[in-house]
Structure 1
């Protein structure tokens, strides 16, 4: 049993290291960095990852957390911003409260994909939690809409 523990502990760093796709800034094309820094010049604590040829920048801007996806040509494909529930537009908030009366609002994100803006809302319920997606106009969306980048 002790040998099994030692083997598992020895391979944990390898297992987690192989899943990590964190990359250092010198490995990122300047056009990608410039795209993020031009739009968000006050970004703090930048961390970069790459998956399937898409660069993801995670950073803080004021009190908000951001994730920005950029392709190798420097085009921003998607922006996720964590927002306070008070920042959810009235049309969205009214619709969520109407559609999910038995749930309590938890976390919210504002998501831009191209020119479209969506709101992803996490809801807490007695039988479980769920995430829902609405357009800026308050129309419920299929969550798969957030995957199209």
Structure 2
């Protein structure tokens, strides 16, 4: 049994780059991806590239307060997904209204705006004395998912 667990652990380690990405140099990223990234995020700083499966993930910061971003591009340079850290005050008013109505005793933390194509989802953590929730809302304040953390 120990041997099986050990083999599983090593298999996970070997394949971890598929889940978490393999760090790569910008010189290893296709120029079309780099060019499209610079067009979309000309003020990016602290840029780090990873290869996740067949997608190029770029982690970077923008602005005076160093807002965190993650973006995924395909090999052709198409932006597949963009995740950015935002303030709870930047949530759409409908989302803030839903939180105030349904989760009034919770503290809002780790707010992100996730864009995939034309779909925008807001993810965040809600924390109370008794529990922590990870939730996702659409721009109209509709709860899309709720997971006990």
With the shorter chain as reference, the TM-score category is 0.7 to 0.9
The runs of 5 or more residues in structure 2 that have no matched partner are 1-12
Choose which of 118, 122, 127 in structure 2 pairs with 1:124: 127
The runs of 5 or more residues in structure 1 that have no matched partner are 1-14, 144-149
- Offset from partner CA, 1:12-55 (integer Å, 9 cap, x none): xxx69x75611111111011111111101110010011111111
Deviation at residue 135 of structure 1 after TM alignment: 0.5
Structure 1 runs of 4+ off > 6 angstroms? Answer: none
* 1: CA distance, partners of 2:132 / 2:58: 28
Partner SS, residue 69 of structure 1:
strand
Tell me how large the CA RMSD over aligned residues is. 2.0
* 1: CA distance, partners of 2:119 / 2:55: 19
Name 1:45's counterpart in structure 2. 46
Normalising by structure 2, we get a TM-score of 0.80
* 2: CA distance, partners of 1:97 / 1:22: 40
Name 1:147's counterpart in structure 2. none
* 2: CA distance, partners of 1:79 / 1:133: 15
Deviation at residue 130 of structure 1 after TM alignment: 1.6
- Offset from partner CA, 1:100-142 (integer Å, 9 cap, x none): 2231111211111101111111111212212110011111113
Deviation at residue 78 of structure 1 after TM alignment: 0.6
Is 2:114 the partner of 1:111? yes
Normalising by structure 1, we get a TM-score of 0.80
User: What does 1:46-125 align with in structure 2 at a 5 Å threshold?
Assistant: 46-62=47-63, 63=65, 64-125=67-128
* 2: CA distance, partners of 1:99 / 1:115: 27
Partner SS, residue 59 of structure 1:
strand
